[in-house]
Amino acid sequence: MQELINRAKELLADGTVARVLGWKAGDLPYNPEPAYFESAEELKDFVYNGFCGANLSKYMIEASKLEGKTMVCLKPCDTYSFNQLIKEHRVDREKAYIVGVGCKGKLDIEKIKKQGIKGIESIQGAEITDDAETLTIQTLYGEKTCAYADAMLERCHVCKGKEHMIFDEQIGESKETKDAERFAEVERIEAMSPEEKFAYFQSELSKCIRCNACRNACPACSCRKCVFDSNKFDSSQKANVDSFEEKMFHIIRAFHVAGRCTDCGECSRVCPQGIPLHLFNRKFIKDIDALYGEYQAGADTDSKAPLTNYTFEDAEPSIVGKRG
Amino acid sequence: MQRIGVFVCHCGSNIAATVDVSKVAEMALMEPGVVHAEDYQYMCSEAGQAKIAAAIQEKGLTGIVVCSCSPRMHETTFRKAAERAGLNPYMVEIANIREHCSWIHKDMEEATKKAVILMRAAVAKVNLNTPLQAGESRVTKRALVIGGGIAGIQTALDIADAGYEVDIVEKTPSIGGRMSQLDKTFPTLDCSACILTPKMVEASAHEKITIYTYSEVEKVSGFVGDFTVDIRKKARSVDMNKCTGCGVCQEKCPSKKAPSEFNRGLNTRSAIYTPFAQAIPNVPVIDREACIKFKTGKCGICSKVCQAGAIDYEQKDEIITEKYGAIVVATGFDTINLEKYDEYAYSQSKDVITSLELERVMNAAGPTHGHLERLSDGKAPKEIVFIQCVGSRCADDRGKPYCSKICCMYTAKHAMLIRDKYPDVNVTVFYIDVRTPGKNFDEFYRRAVEQYGVNYIKGQVGKVIPQPDGKLLVQGSDLLDNRQILKEADMVVLATAIEPNPDVRKIATMLTASIDTNNFLTEAHAKLRPVESPTAGIFLSGVCQGPKDIPETVAQAGAAAVKAIGLLAKDKLMTNPCTAQADILLCNGCSTCENVCPYGAITYEDKEVNDHGIRETRRVAVVNNALCQGCGACTVACPSGAMDLQGFSNRQILAEVDAICR
C-alpha cells in the first residue's frame, strides 16, 4: 500500500495526473470507499486492502470529463470493465493513468459475519502485502480467526486471472484465487424444473428493495439516463408493487448488460439484501459461450461482441429458441 | 387528443362469418379518442373507401383504424384513400382481424373478443401516431444476377434486352449451371447443350451483360435501388485477356487426379481446367489445391506450354465493388447428400448412381463417352432399376418433406432413352406416385410405359444389397399386387431429392432475404408475388425459390426480369419514412446501434448538446434516413432507449401491448 501511495504522490507531484482515484478508510474497519485524492496531504487517508472490492472503472466515466489525467487503481478483474467502457466510448483512455494494483482476492464481510464473528473492532491479515492465509479479527468478544479463502467474495472463487488486461504500470503482486467452477451454480439452477426455478427467483428477488445499488455500481449500467429513471418510458421509477415488477427490473437490467457484462460481480457485492444478482448475467455469459463461442467481455477493446455482431457461423435462432 | 375513426370490414363472409363485426364497431366507440366507428361489407371497395373519406372529412378525423385483412394486402389502399381525403397516410393503422383472427378461429364469441382486442391495440397505437413524410431515393440502373445457370442467364438476357446493364456473378469457372450437365431434356428429348449454349453465347456476347465467373458475392450493403456489392473475383491464375482457349495447358498438365465437378466426380480432370468443352468463358482456371506448382513449387509446365503467356501463378483474388438497383438471386440447386440413405448402398457400390450422375454417363462428353455401362466393371447392364423419391416427400428428417418435382419426368426420360438405344435392357421403376402435370408431360410418361415397355411398379424399395458377383439385389414391394419383390439388377439409379444450393443461406443473409425451413428463398406472397423476395429490390429466379423444371425456370426467370426492369425503369423511389432516430439527450455514444445496423445507416458525431442546462459536446448517434430501412435492430439493441423507430416507437409498441393485456 505504501508503494502505491508513494507512486501516487510522485505522479501528482510531477503533474502526470491531476488526481488519484482509489479508496479511503470508511467508518468501519471493513468498508473502505472509493475516493479522489488531489494532493499528497489527502493521500494520508488512502487505503488498499482486501476490503477494497469496489470496481473503480465506472468512476472514470465522470473522471474522463475532468481536466487532466486521473490515476486510477484497477485490480485485474476491474480492467475488463475498463476495456469494455473504452469499447463503448464511455471512458477516455488518454484521461486515465492506470495503475494495475495487485490482488489476492477480495473479502466479503457478510461471509465473516455468517461465521458468527460479530462486534468487529479491527481486522489483521487483509492487507494486500500480507501473505497471511488467516484473518485475525479483534472483536468485542475477543480475538477470532477466519481463513482468508473462507471470507472471499464469490467472484474471487471464480477469479478470471491475475493478469491486468490494460495498465500503464503495475504495483503489487496478484494471486489467482480460482477454486470453483464459474458456471456450477448456473447449472444447478438450469437443472431445476420451471416451477422450481420460478420459486427460486421469486424467493431471491422478493428480497429486492429497489435501492438501485446494483445498477449504480455496475460498470455496464453506464447509461447517461437509465430507462428506469427516464420519463420517456413507462418503466420509469416503477416501485416494487408486485412480484412482477421486482422481477422486471432485474430481468431488464440483465438483458441490457447481456454481452457487455464482464462478470465483475459488483452487483452481488453491493446488494444489501444478498441477492445473487450475478447469476442472471452469468447465465447469459454461459449461453453466449455455448452458442457463439467463448467470449469474455472486456478482454480487449476491439473484438466484436457476439450479440452485436453477425457471422455465418452464428447459431440459428431455432437452436437458440430450443435451449429455452 | 386524436379524433379516431374505426372501420370494420366484413370481407364478405371471410370476417363477418366468424367475427361479430358490428360488435367490434360498437366496442370501438368506447375506446379513448374514437369518435366514429362503422362496419361495411367490403372496406377495400370504392364504396368502402368513400365511407372512410367521408368520415375523415365530416368528422375531422386525425387518425383511422381499419379492422380488415393483413396490412400486406390493403394497407396501401387505405393509406392512399386517407391521403386523398386529406389525412397523412401514416395516420392509418390496420388491425388484422382476418388472417390473425377470423381465418384461424371457429368460435364466434372468442373470435369477436380477439377482434376487439386487436382493434384496441391499433387504436392505442394511432393515439400516439404522428404524421410522417416519405422521402425519395435514387435508382442505380444496373442489375446484379447471382448465379449463371439457365435461370440467371435468362433473367440477365431479358433485363439486358430491355436496355439495362446486368452483371452475372457465377461461382464456378463457367456459366451454364446444372442444365449444362444434362444430356437430354424432357418432354421433347432435345439435347440440353444444344439449346443452352446459344443462350450462353448470347449472354456473353451481349453488350449490356458483364459476366464474372469464378466469382462470389462477398458483401452487400445499401437497399432497394441503391445496393453496393463487393464481388470477389477468385484468382484464376490465368490472364483472361491473354488466354486464347487453345487447351494445350490442360493436355500437358501432369496433375490429372482431381475429381471432375462437372462429371459429378465420376472421372478426373487436370489441375488446370475448363469444366466442359463449351464453357464460357473458354478460359481455364488452376485448381490450386490440385496443382503441383502450388503444392510443391516445382512444375510450371502449363506456363511453359502456353504460347500466349497467359498463366499467372501470382494472380490474387480481386474485389470488385459495384452499385446496383436490383438484385436477382438465381443460385439453383444441388442433389442432397445420400449419407442418411445407406439402405440404397450408394456408398457401397459404384453401380448405384444418382440420376444426375446417369445424365453424365449418358452424355457423349461424360466419363463413359455416352456408353451405358456399369461404373464398376464397364460391363453393359441388362437390368436397371430406378428408385423414385429418394429423399423427397420424406416424413422424417433424413430427407426433404417436399416433392422435388422433376424426378418423375426425368426418370421417364431416362427409361425411355435407355429402352430406345438398348432395347435388350430391362428397365424397372419403383415409384410412390407418378406426377406428370405439365404440357405434354403425361403423354410423355405414357409413351415410356406403353411404347417403350418400361416396367413401373408402385412401391418403395427397402434395400439394395450388393452381391458378391457384382449384381445388386433390390428388395422392394409391389403395392398393387401386394407382394414382395426381390430383383437382381446391374445398375440402380436413385432419383435423388434436390435442395437449394447450400450457398444460398450465406447469400440470403447478406441480402436480408428470408428463407424457409428447407432453405428455399421465400416469396413476398406465395400466389401474388411469387418472384419477389419480401426484401425490396431482391428478386427470385429458378430453383432457389422452389423445385421447378427448365420451362418453369425460364418462365420465372423472365418474370423476375420484368420485376427488376420495373424497378430499374423508375428514376426515384419513395422511401419509407419509418426510420430510426436517436434522442441525443439519451444517447450514450456506445456504438451498439452502429454495430448492429445491417445498412450502415448509423454514424457517430460529436455534437453540442444542451441537457437541461448542461452544455457539453457529446459523441452521439446520427441516422442517415436515406440508408435506414426501419428494421428496428438499433432500437432493441440500444440500452438507454435513445433509438426509436418513427411509426413504430417503443411507446407505440408498448401501448399496443398494454391495450392487448388490458
Residue A64 has which C-alpha cell? 474522463
Does residue B660 sit within a domain?
no
Q: Contact at 8 Å (CB) between B190 and B167?
A: no
Q: Contact B641/A90, CB-based, under 8 Å?
A: no
Please give the average per-residue pLDDT across B450-456, as a whole number: 96
Q: Contact at 8 Å (CB) between B153 and B201?
A: no
CA distance B136 to B581: 18
Q: Contact B641/A227, CB-based, under 8 Å?
A: yes
Same domain, B207 and B324: yes
- Give the CB-side neighbour count of residue A154, counting CA atoms within 13 A: 21
Please give the average per-residue pLDDT across A14-26, as a whole number: 94
Residue B164 has which C-alpha cell? 439495362
CA distance B612 to B486: 88
List the one residue out of A105, A76, A79 whose CA is nearest residue A177. Answer: A105
**Residue in B589, B616, B637 nearest the CB of A89:** B589
Q: Contact A224/B591, CB-based, under 8 Å?
A: no
Query: What pLDDT, on the 0 to 100 scale, is given for residue A322?
Result: 65
DSSP notation for B234-268: ---SB-TTT-----HHHHH-S---EEPTTTTTSSE
**Residue in A224, A227, A308 nearest the CB of B596:** A308
Please give the average per-residue pLDDT across B323-332, as a whole number: 98
Looking at the predicted structure, is the pLDDT value of residue A55 above 70?
Answer: yes
Residue in chain B closest to A253 (alpha carbons) equals: B639
Looking at the predicted structure, is the pLDDT value of residue A112 above 80?
Answer: yes
Tell me what percent of the residues of chain B surpass a pLDDT of 90: 92
List the one residue out of B647, B616, B617 whose CA is nearest residue B604. Answer: B617
Same domain, B188 and B288: no
Residue B80 has which C-alpha cell? 392512399
Q: Beta strands B142-146 and B136-138: pairing type? A: unpaired
Query: What pLDDT, on the 0 to 100 scale, is given for residue A181?
Result: 93
CA distance B100 to B103: 7
CA distance A48 to A63: 20
Does residue B375 sit within a domain?
yes
Please give the average per-residue pLDDT across B418-427, as a whole number: 96
Same domain, B80 and B172: no
User: How does pLDDT run across A142-174, given as a tens digit for each residue?
Assistant: 999 898 889 999 999 999 999 999 999 999 888
Name residue B456's beta-bridge partners: B429
Same domain, B227 and B260: no
Query: What pLDDT, on the 0 to 100 scale, is given for residue A230?
Result: 85
Same domain, B340 and B471: yes
Q: Contact A233/B619, CB-based, under 8 Å?
A: no
Q: Of B538, B568, B598, which marks where a domain is finished?
A: B568
Query: What pLDDT, on the 0 to 100 scale, is given for residue B463?
Result: 96
CA angle B502, B506, B511 (to 5 degrees): 130
Q: How many domains does chain B have?
A: 5
Q: Of B499, B516, B549, which marks where a domain is finished?
A: B499
Question: B48-78: buried (b, 16+ CB within 10 Å) or exposed (e) per residue?
Answer: bbebbbebbeeeebbbbbbbbbebebbbebb
Cα radius of gyration (chain A): 20
**Residue in B583, B592, B611 nearest the CB of A308:** B592
Does residue B450 sit within a domain?
yes
ipTM, two decimals, is 0.88
Q: Contact A233/B641, CB-based, under 8 Å?
A: yes
Same domain, B424 and B287: no
Which residue range(s) make up the domain with B298?
A: 248-305
SS3 content of chain A, % helix, strand, coil (to 5): 35, 15, 50
Same domain, B194 and B49: no
Query: What pLDDT, on the 0 to 100 scale, is given for residue B512?
Result: 87
Q: Beta strands B142-146 and B165-169: pairing type? A: parallel
CA distance B393 to B594: 44
E strands, B88-140, in order: 92-96, 136-138
User: How does pLDDT run across A222-254, given as a tens digit for each residue?
Assistant: 999 998 888 887 777 666 677 777 788 899 999
Question: B274-283: buried (b, 16+ CB within 10 Å) or exposed (e) per residue?
Answer: bbbebbbbeb
Same domain, B469 and B341: yes
**Residue in B589, B637, B650 nearest the CB of A233:** B650
At CB < 8 Å, which residues of chain A contact B?
65, 87-90, 222-227, 230, 232-234, 256-257, 260, 304-305, 308-310, 312
CA distance B394 to B604: 52
Q: Contact B619/A310, CB-based, under 8 Å?
A: no
E strands, B59-135, in order: 63-68, 92-96
Same domain, B367 and B384: yes
CA distance B417 to A114: 88
Tell me what percent of the residues of chain A surpass a pLDDT of 70: 95
Looking at the predicted structure, is the pLDDT value of residue B414 above 80?
Answer: yes
Looking at the predicted structure, is the pLDDT value of residue B219 above 60?
Answer: yes
Domain boundaries, chain A: 2-171, 184-323
Phi, psi at B405, each rounded to 5°: 70, -30
Model confidence band, residue B481 (pLDDT cutoffs 50, 70, 90)? very high
The CATH number of residue B593's host domain is 3.30.70.20
Does residue B573 sit within a domain?
no
Please give the average per-residue pLDDT across B327-344, as a whole number: 96
CA angle A248, A254, A255 (to 5 degrees): 90
Same domain, B195 and B322: yes
In a mutational test of the A interface, the residue from B581, B583, B586, B614 whose CB has the highest number of chain A CBs within 10 Å is B586
Query: What pLDDT, on the 0 to 100 scale, is given for residue A133?
Result: 84
CA distance B328 to B149: 12
Same domain, B254 and B287: yes
Q: Contact at 8 Å (CB) between A261 and A220?
A: yes
Looking at the predicted structure, is the pLDDT value of residue B130 above 80?
Answer: yes
Q: Is B586 on the interface with A (CB under 8 A)?
A: yes
What's B529's DSSP letter?
A: B
**Residue in B611, B616, B619 nearest the CB of A89:** B619
Tell me what percent of the residues of chain B surpass a pLDDT of 70: 100
Does residue B136 sit within a domain?
no
Query: What pLDDT, on the 0 to 100 scale, is given for residue B396?
Result: 87
Does residue B20 sit within a domain?
yes
Q: Of B83, B98, B126, which marks where a domain is finished?
A: B126
E strands, chain A, in order: 19-24, 33-37, 46-47, 70-74, 96-101, 120-124, 134-139, 142-147, 169-171
The CATH number of residue B350's host domain is 3.50.50.60
Query: What pLDDT, on the 0 to 100 scale, is given for residue A240?
Result: 67
